[in-house]
Each structure stands twice: as structure tokens, then as C-alpha cells.
A = this chain, B = another copy of it.
Amino acid sequence: MVDSKSQTADLGIVQLDLDRPRRCGYPEVVFGEGKSAETLLKVIQRLTAEGHEAFVTRVHPDAAAQLAGGLAGLRHNEIARTVRVRPNVQATAGINPAARELVGKVAIVTAGTTDLPVAEEARETLDWMGVATDLIVDVGVAGPHRLPAQLHRIQGSDAVIVVAGMEAALTSVVAGYVDCPVIGVPTSVGYGANLGGVAAVLSMLNSCAANVVVVNIDAGFKGGYVAGMIARRQARNPKHEIRNES
């Protein structure tokens, strides 16, 4: 049942926040880790009944398979570990990922190949938010000519996401080339003294570049979400340009 006053749907062990679109601009995204397929199903059905495209992150492959059996139009990105389900009402056809026009632009850059799953989670998030992305993989600084060759795809973005493990040096390097926020997503890629990604977190927090912000380790969703918020805000104005007062 729905508590009309608080805009919360009481689904037993889940209190679904129905008021979030009004406050935050997007419906609640479901953190899939530790939730059973049954619980996820209940939440997804409610979200889609409200006219939202449901978005679930960190879904276990088994849960995804169970869900896929019972939900038409489910989109499972195995690399990103995400599930999306279209709203079940006609009026929301514009949400159709295939049909809608994406706005803004976010570049997602990874240092290595193994950072890809986290980058994919960010990409999927932005796609769900209706923001255009450009994914550039494996341009870490050990091969220093790889990044310059791709700078044209990165500069001019509304925000840049850098997904990097190990020492995450790419983050500061990218940040030196752009006039927009760089969202560092540290990954647990590496071994030994990477301490499960803590080394990359510290590296990004201590960036010598002023425009770097950081989210949790392997938090592709968060990185994508914040980038999307920035991109959507400035999407409407085609002439948004920074005045360089100097």
C-alpha cells in the first residue's frame, strides 16, 4: 500500500521512496547486492507501475536470470551487472531507450581493460538517465600517446568520468586537459599494496588538479549518476560556454 502523505511505498522490508523524482529528479535506483530475486521483483514491479524505468545495480547473475524469466523487456548488462525494466504504461513510451533522444555528453575514460565493468556500470547509468556517453577504454599513462589521441573525444564534455585502479594517475592527467568536473571512480583493479582500491582512492583525493572529485571504490553507478546530473542541467542551452575572464 502507498502512504500518500509520505510518498513511501511500504513493500515489507523495502520502503520505496516514491517522492524521489520530485526531490532529486530521478526515481530511486535499487542497490541489488544482498537482495533476493523476490524482493527485487517486488520493487521493480512497483517502480514500473509508477511509470518509471526501473534500474537495479550490482545484480547477481542468478537473480538477473530469475528476473529475466518473469519480466518482459528486461535489459541485463552482464558486464555492468545491471538490470533495467521499462515502465509498463503507454504514456511513458518516450522513455524507451531506443527511441528517446539523449542529451548532453559525458566521456567515460578507463585506464586499463580490466576497469571495463565499472565503466560499463557508469555508462548504463547515464543511458538510463538519458545522457549521451562516449566510452574510451585502456588509455592509461604507461602508453602516454594513447590519451592525446583521444582528447578530442574528451574535451568539450559536460563532465568526464575517469575509471582507474592501481595508482590512478590517469585521473589527474585527464583533469589537466579539461574545463569541466572530473569524477574519479577508483577501482579495485591491481594487487598487493593497492589494498583493494584504497590506493586509488587516496590518489584521487590527493589529485594536484583542482577539478577532481571522488566516489567510492568500483562505484560506477555513483560516478555515472553525478555526471548525469551535471550533463542534464546544461543540456538545454546549446550555447553554454565558459567565459574565461582572464
Chain A residues close to B by CB (< 8 Å): 3, 5-8, 13-15, 17, 19-29, 31, 33-35, 39, 50-53, 58, 87, 92, 94-95, 111-114, 116, 130, 137-146, 148-149, 158, 165-173, 175-181, 183, 186, 188-219, 221-222, 225-226, 229-230, 232-237, 239-246
Contacts and interface: CB of A to CB of B under 8 A. Distances in A.
Given A167-B171, A169-B203, 12 more contacts: A21-B246, A23-B176, A23-B179, A25-B244, A26-B244, A35-B114, A112-B208, A141-B173, A142-B172, A167-B204, A169-B171, A183-B213
A207 B213 CA distance: 14
B175 A142 contact: yes
B143 A8 contact: yes
A141 B22 CA distance: 16
**What is the interface of chain A mostly: helix, strand, loop, or mixed?**
loop
Given A144-B173, A192-B196, A244 B21 contact: yes
Contacts of A244: 21-22, 25-26
Contact of A192 (B166, B188, B209): B188
A167 B215 contact: no
Contact of A15 (B24, B26, B87, B143): B143
A149 to B, nearest CB: 4
Contacts of A214: 205, 213-215
Contacts of A188: 192
9 contacts: A3-B149, A52-B245, A142-B208, A169-B208, A194-B206, A205-B215, A213-B222, A233-B234, A234-B234
Contact of A237 (B138, B213, B237): B237
A8 B24 CA distance: 27
B210 A149 contact: no
